[in-house]
Amino acid sequence: MYFATLAASIFEQSTSDYHKENNVDTEIQNPYPVKSIEYTLYLKNWIDTVQWHLEDIIRDPDINPVKALEVKRRIDRSNQERTDIVEWIDSYFYEKYQPVVYSETASLNTESPAWAIDRLSILVLKIYHIQQEVIRNDVSEEHLNKCREKLAVLSEQQQDLSLAIDQLLMDIESGEKYMKVYKQMKMYNDPDLNPVLYGKK
């Protein structure tokens, strides 16, 4: 099985599992062995799915301001967790392909494998939610047609992105491309780098 196919199937499983309860406070029940790549992919999408719904909640025009701040800070924590997991996945690939001997013409890709996989997780989420719109019976035919059009585009995007991910991994494995792992170095959560936070010391 190609890696993108594996990842997409796990993302779909996680998305489906979350929506059994459809509650941002539902405890994750990850079915894969801890520290396996499958476990990490499931966790990755679960975080994305919870954050998707937190983003919905915070856009409620009637939300209590105190509640909004609580949700915003939860989204910040979620973003940091998401970034940490993406970096873990890139480290997984980096270690996996350490023995590869790169060709003299090997090039660096503009996007690392894990950040492309991050986009695949979000695409799976978009497709799920657009599919839910397509089966609604309380909206106009115009709304349904627009959602069907969006679903077709998103499905094509998923196919193209999956192909690109697998091609990138094959190019790295064959030595035609190489990769590096860069930490995102987010500053807003760091008490030593965010001037608002270190100003409180």
Q: Show Cβ contacts of residue 120 under 8 Å, excluding neighbours closer than 6 positions.
A: 4, 7, 8, 11, 158, 161, 162, 165
> Which residues in the chain come in under a pLDDT of 50?
none
Domains of the chain, residue spans: 3-188
- pLDDT value of position 189: 67
Query: pTM of the full predicted structure?
Result: 0.91
Please check whether residue 88 is in contact with residue 43, taking contact to mean a CB–CB distance below 8 angstroms: no
Cα dihedral sign, 11-13-16-22: negative
Q: Hey, how many other C-beta atoms are within 10 angstroms of the C-beta on 93? A: 21
- pLDDT value of position 187: 63
- pLDDT value of position 96: 96
